[in-house]
Amino acid sequence: MMVLRDMRTEISRRTALKTLGVSGVVLAGGVTAISGQSDDASDDVGELELVYEFEPPEGSPQEPPFGQHPENVAIDPFGNKFVSVPSQAQIWKFGPEDELVDQPFVQFDSTEEFLVGPTGVEYDPSGRLYSAFVSDLSSSEDAETNGVYEIDDENGEYELYAEISNDVEDFPTFPNDIALLENSLLVTDSFSGVIWEVKRGRAEVWAGELWDGEDDFPTGPLAPPAPAAAGPQFGPNGLQFTEDKRTLYVANTAKGTIVEIPVFEGNAREPEVFVEGLVAPDGLAMDVDENLYVADNGANQILRISPNGDVEVLAENEAMDGEQETTTEAETTTAEEGTTTAEDGTTTDEAGTTTPEEETTTAEAGTTTPEDGTATAEEGTTTPGDGTTTDEEGTTTPGDGTATTEQGDDQTEPDSEGGVPVLDQPADVTFGTTDDQLETLYIVNLALTSQFEEPRPSFVKLDVGVDGLPVER
């Protein structure tokens, strides 16, 4: 196992991969898929369209020279798109017609280390761009400060807006997504399990409970599962306000949930789980009807969730001809045979109780059981720790926690030169802002641990038939 050493903590390869929102649930290598509209999607939903293909890594995505892995996108009122590429410590700029304008628009000081770079980006209509930056995982004294940066949207010049840190020795913070509050920013901390309220020069916990490093790790809806021996796990990620700013939705990646937080006069009330049973939700967006859009990077799906919590799959990768089901009786979990608790990954069946707190890898069998209770087999069958099971029909229903991964006999991948876009760990979704792009959902594919023989980092878009909710203070 490759371990990142000489950092504030030692983090296993699998845990490190999850720190950009990458689920432990990874499809088996060689699964062949083409991307398209889900059969269950509404008639007003279009097909995925390719905006830009980023360069995949020459070798391992976790070792230099790194590829170009986009993580987040923000769009200004004029239709300019700002895409963070943490693997290069850069932010790129695309124009109103989706054309590449600046590569890069922002170049942070790079230490050429894995998982050190800009993560979430958000555009303030007042004319400033903000970016979260992760450097707590760096071993270099030359790394940028861990926190939030303010960026001039004209020339890309940046300065530190506020540092984000905790008082726990050897436990890093991971500033991730950003949302605009009236006079401040809200920033998820995916390791600590809190949301920070950030103003110039300071950051305070706005929601969630900050771990003190001594007592039991917090267990609330925002908290990730407790840190395992390999390091911290990944919790709060994407953020999205309703139009009236009275509710904030938060994706909890490791738990497969969407959390809602009532907001009163700018203050957070008690968080509650809104939707559960997803695989690895990451970036969020909302339309004018207050439907929530979710980039589920563990399932390679784009979801739409109604205000009542109904889940609709808008786009997903579909198995090609020659597919076969890989579910076996032994791999299927039913209500009578056992239950799974998402928070701690503990599975109980008739034979006894198993708590997979430590990551176990069996190379011969091709089966990995990480700390969150996710099992991925060579045959392509995936059973995540949130109670997701495989049914006999091979259908995927995120809302009820049922998922099936299928493998094709013919393992010919889609022809990228033919313009067939795929979903390869979608990490963020954001609506366009110009009149002709209001119904367009822009999506970045992180592709950090890819189901394809060659990762497919890309920038794609999807017409969803409903105007997006504008980003406002």
Residue 224, domain CATH:
2.120.10.30
Distances, alpha carbon 197 to alpha carbons 27, 174, 185, 446, in Å: 36, 14, 6, 26
According to DSSP, residue 331 is labeled: G
What's residue 319's pLDDT? 64
What's residue 419's pLDDT? 55
Q: What is the mean pLDDT of residues 71-83?
A: 98
Q: Do 381 and 256 share a structural domain?
A: no
Residue 471 falls within a domain, yes or no? no
Distances, alpha carbon 154 to alpha carbons 88, 97, 171, 185, 293, in Å: 21, 18, 36, 21, 30
Please give the residue that has the higher pLDDT: either 39 or 70.
70
pLDDT tens across 231-285, in order? 899 999 999 999 999 999 999 999 999 999 999 999 999 999 999 999 999 999 9
Taking phi first (over 0 means left), then psi (-120 to 50 degrees means alpha), and beta for anything else, what does residue 446 get? Answer: alpha
What's residue 40's pLDDT? 65
What's residue 420's pLDDT? 73
pLDDT tens across 131-182, in order? 999 999 999 999 999 999 999 999 999 999 999 999 888 899 999 999 999 9
Distances, alpha carbon 393 to alpha carbons 36, 96, 323, 408, in Å: 20, 43, 13, 16
Q: Do 290 and 218 share a structural domain?
A: yes
Q: Do 292 and 402 share a structural domain?
A: no
- Per-residue pLDDT band for 60 (boundaries 50, 70, 90) equals confident
Residue 169 falls within a domain, yes or no? yes
Please give the residue that has the higher pLDDT: either 8 or 453.
453
Domain span at 404: 331-408
* Residue 209 reports pLDDT greater than 90: yes
Q: What is the mean pLDDT of residues 330-354?
A: 39
Strand order in the sheet with 352-354: 338-341, 346-349, 352-354
Q: Report the first-to-last Cα separation within the chain, whole angstroms.
A: 45
* Residue 343 reports pLDDT greater than 70: no
Residue 166 falls within a domain, yes or no? yes
Q: What is the mean pLDDT of residues 6-20?
A: 43
- Proportion of the chain above pLDDT 70, given as a percent: 70
Residue 12 neighbours by CB under 8 Å, 6+ apart: 1, 3, 230, 231, 359
Helices (H), 25-139: none
Structure tokens at 253: 């990646």
Q: Do 105 and 42 share a structural domain?
A: yes
Q: Do 309 and 404 share a structural domain?
A: no
- Per-residue pLDDT band for 29 (boundaries 50, 70, 90) equals very low
Residue 470 falls within a domain, yes or no? no
Q: Do 430 and 373 share a structural domain?
A: no
Q: Which of 384, 408, 432 is the last residue of a domain?
A: 408
Q: How far apart are CA 469 and CA 400, in angstroms?
A: 27
88-126 b/e (C-beta count within 10 Å ≥ 16 → b): bbbbbbbebebeeebbebbebebbebbbbbbbbbbbbee
Q: Do 291 and 203 share a structural domain?
A: yes
Structure tokens at 310: 């109904």
Cα dihedral 62, 63, 68, 70, rounded to 10, equals 20
Q: β-strands 3-4, 11-12: how paired?
A: antiparallel
Q: How many domains does the chain have?
A: 2
What's residue 266's pLDDT? 96
Residue 317 falls within a domain, yes or no? yes
Please give the residue that has the higher pLDDT: either 402 or 53.
53
Q: Which of 366, 383, 408 is the last residue of a domain?
A: 408
Distances, alpha carbon 382 to alpha carbons 26, 64, 225, 338, in Å: 8, 30, 19, 16
Residue 413 falls within a domain, yes or no? no
Residue 179 falls within a domain, yes or no? yes
What's residue 316's pLDDT? 96
What's residue 228's pLDDT? 84
Q: What is the mean pLDDT of residues 321-337?
A: 34
Structure tokens at 128: 């400033």
What's residue 63's pLDDT? 84
- Proportion of the chain above pLDDT 90, given as a percent: 62
pLDDT tens across 92-111, in order? 999 999 999 999 999 999 99
Of 79-83, 277-281, 352-356, the one with minimum mean pLDDT is 352-356
What's residue 37's pLDDT? 58
User: Which of 413, 421, 470 has its CA nearest to residue 315?
Assistant: 421
Residue 185 neighbours by CB under 8 Å, 6+ apart: 122, 130, 148, 161, 178, 179, 197, 198, 199
Q: Do 397 and 279 share a structural domain?
A: no
What's residue 424's pLDDT? 97
Radius of gyration over every alpha carbon of the chain, rounded to an integer in angstroms? 20
Residue 414 falls within a domain, yes or no? no
Please report the DSSP string for 71-100 in residue order.
-EEEE-TTS-EEEEEGGGTEEEEE-TTS-E
What's residue 59's pLDDT? 85
Q: Do 380 and 237 share a structural domain?
A: no
What's residue 179's pLDDT? 99
Whole-model pTM over 0.85: no
Q: Do 262 and 114 share a structural domain?
A: yes
According to DSSP, residue 417 is labeled: G
Which 3 state secondary structure label does DSSP give 399?
helix
Q: Mean pLDDT, the chain, as a whole number?
A: 79
Instruction: Count H helices and E strands in the chain, helices first.
Output: 1, 37
pLDDT tens across 112-144, in order? 998 899 999 999 998 999 999 999 999 999 999
Q: Do 435 and 404 share a structural domain?
A: no
Q: Do 61 and 43 share a structural domain?
A: yes
* Residue 207 reports pLDDT greater than 70: yes
